[in-house]
Chain A
Amino acid sequence: MRKEGKNFLAKALKRILEPFYQKLSIKLKADLQVAEQQRLLHHLIGRVDTLSIQQLALTNQIKTTSLIVSGVYNSTEDETSTFWSASIIYDIFAILKNQSQSSISVFNYFNEITQVALKGKSIIFVSGVDPLYSQIAKKQGAESIVRIEMNPFVANKRLTNDESRNEKVIFVYPTNMATLSYPLVDLLFVPRQAVASFLIKHHLFNLGSRVKQKAFITLAVKTYSVFSTSKTTPFALEENQSLTIFNDNYIRRQLHKAGFFEVKCINSQGIGIKNKQFDKKVTHLSYQNDYKVVRDNKLKDKKLFNDNHMSIKTYVANKLPELT
């Protein structure tokens, strides 16, 4: 009797569990196949990414070669690191792209940002600026205007000497900036960030010695760097935003090396910035350490700005110290 009971239980379990077991094993096998397929797919995607990167690098090499052959780019820098070369090429591409600016932003540049008196002054604008800059400068009484244009591929009839605006245009390949001589002027304006990014890495070439009063330059800056003195990571490429973002201290060092005694930030715009003149840092040229900080910023709550915060800042570099 007991033996018959055991056989019945075994048959019942087999009848219930076997299909369940079969279904489970089929599902497990299918899952394994899916996992294997997914693994293979990921491998393929990774391979495609690698190929894309290699293709991009190859494309950049071709573009670089084109630039070199055309005479636009000729690397003479001692800093031959891949990053440095890449950043310079990036700047040149951005300069050649020549993105337009809104008329309102051009208007605000003189009236709100730089707020400098132009009457009787001689001026240089560097590269790709909207004609409205010259019109406003002329209207405000500028005595003479020179535009340095670094876009050799532009066959634009606008880019000619304009006697009605007392404006002269000088064409130059970007990396030949140091080989030309420029007139002595009172003021220098570099409102385009792409142009400023290129110029600041080269200490403005020899433009500093041609400026008698002030230079205005606009750049994207890591906001936290205005509260420190560290010059590490002088700049970084933010490809998503098509920007080079700088360390504030690096900018100051470069402007002092370019031949300006005093550097201040006169306007900052960005997320978390309520007061456009919040940056009070003033630096003076020093014989010993490139520059010295004569007035520093004091941040009450350092958590306000983290590594991701960026601001668009306009600096004024003065030839002479502003006496207090």
Chain B
Amino acid sequence: MSQINYPNSHNNYVKPEVFLFYGFGSEYVLHDLYLAMKKRQYPCLEVDALKETNSKIIIDKLANKKVIFITSAHFLLDKKNFSDFYPNNNKFYSVLEIIKLFKPIRSIYIPHDLTQPLIDKETDFLNQFDFFLTPNDLFTTIYGSYCKTEEVGWIKYLKNDRKIHLNNLKRAIWLLSDYVLHLKMGQEASLKRLKPVLDQGVSIKFPLWMGCESFAQYFDNQGITVYSPYTNSIDLIMEHQIIITNGLSSINAESYWLGKTTINIMENSHYGDKKEYLTELLPELLFVEKITDFNLSKIPIMERSVALKTFNMDKTIQLIAHGVK
């Protein structure tokens, strides 16, 4: 590696010893970035706090090192906050705890959710980051007063030269969210609940989360077309005309801004006080109140231009490693 200067937030040049990529399960979206930087010989370490039962041990070893910290995780999710929503036995640090522990040379946030890059209460903590690398001009502008923002495109939308030809048959897929609800009810009850939609020839993909592989296998055994939880959601959106979502999932915005017909099924979905935000952000998003109300034959195929920007890998790496464009 040639001599490279690494300015920190105070513009002093400090050479990092580790680039730490950190996140949780399906909310960890930095793997391709990690691979790209590793290929360019940057000293990279990737930690998925949901895969590692005790990621604290890995993190603790970095305590005295000079670290550039990149994360896609929710800032406030410490063990207690996380377990309130997703019961688990893992031991891990929250993003804020890591920042406190290392005082990183540079901290970068890349969101995993395109619909809500930041959730309630997180905005006030954005000033802990040196950069917020945003997917589009809207979020660059909105959050620009809290910390430095730079538009780099959507991290899951890598440049893809594949041309996908879709015929006139309606290919529909449900990219399911609020998965914890299904985890709690069990596979059999979950299938029974989703059957009215799936029986119309709709495929399904579960998010990459605890127990997802088992769920996928069960549904597959029942004759449902199931995609692997590891499949890139953008690829699946590109391969279907109609995308079904629920709740406040990132898929809503991904599908919508890729110009696809997007339907949000409201039954058992959680919106908090963000329903109005969702309709304001995505005005032509279709809503269906109940699962049994969904009728694929009556859903129009809408044609809209693609507003989603592909991920600029070079610009992102430049910002992470050098703090400048």
Contact = CB atoms under 8 A, between A and B. Distances in A.
A and B pair up = yes
Contacts of A156: none
Given A209-B123, A212-B127, A258-B124, A323 B84 contact: no
B125 A319 contact: yes
Given A287-B84, A323-B101, A259 B125 contact: yes
A292 to B, nearest CB: 6
What's the interface size class on B, roughly?
20 to 34
B268 interface: no
B128 interface: yes
A259 B76 contact: no
Interface string A247-261: 000000000001111
Contacts of B145: 181
Contacts of B101: 323
Interface string B97-125: 10111000000000000000000110111
Interface string A195-220: 00000000000001111100000000
A288 interface: yes
B107 to A, nearest CB: 11
A264 to B, nearest CB: 15
Contacts of A322: 100
Given A181-B145, A287-B85, A321-B100, A292 B80 contact: yes
B96 interface: yes
A261 B74 CA distance: 14
B84, B97, B101, B124: which has the most chain A beta carbons within 10 Å?
B124
A286 B81 contact: yes
Interface in B264-297: none
A261 B80 CA distance: 13
A212 B128 contact: yes
Contacts of A285: 76, 121
B81 A287 contact: yes
Interface string A283-313: 0111110001000000000000000000000
A210 B76 contact: no
A320 B85 contact: no
A258 B124 CA distance: 8
B97 A321 contact: yes
B157 interface: no
Nearest to B147: A184
B124 A259 contact: yes
